[in-house]
Amino acid sequence: MSNQSIKTPCVGLCSTVYGDTVCRGCKRFHHEVIHWNGYDEAQKRAVWQRLEQLLVQVMMAKLEIFDSDLLRQQLEQRSIRFVPQQSVYCWAYQLIARGARMIRDLDAYGMALLPEFREWELPQLRDAIDREFFLLSEAHYDRYIAPAFLKQTQG
């Protein structure tokens, strides 16, 4: 993940200002949003990698990518921002997030929904992906980050 391509995961929908522990927009933890500009390259890369792993997990359970070159070509033609170094499943998310209401045939983008999702409308799928991504981020925070914060406040 290059910090030159995209400096922050922020998507401009920050909910941490309203007290959320995990941002509903970018899925970073509240302290990552607050301290992002002070992070070094390794810290930023670690956040990006976690976000990528969680998103790929969600996306792989919903669709398959059978032609990554076609997907990339479609993203470039439509000027949809994506990070070339990330998984093609992150690319697919960017496409669905930006074009869910306009896309009629995912095959034309090198993708196919898994059988259990083939009857879903893309806006509905996009919202389900976003919810699941948020819930996984929240679960990760609760399991791995919150206990460390509790220890810091107690000791």
Domain boundaries, the chain: 16-139
Neighbours of 149 (CB within 10 A): 13
d(CA 91, CA 71): 8
pLDDT value of residue 149: 62
pLDDT value of residue 6: 47
Which residue ranges in the chain fall short of pLDDT 50? 1-6
Q: What's the pLDDT tens digit per position in 78-105? A: 999 999 999 999 999 999 999 999 999 9
pLDDT value of residue 7: 77
Q: What are phi and psi of 124, to 5 degrees?
A: -65, -45
For the entire predicted model, the pTM comes to 0.89
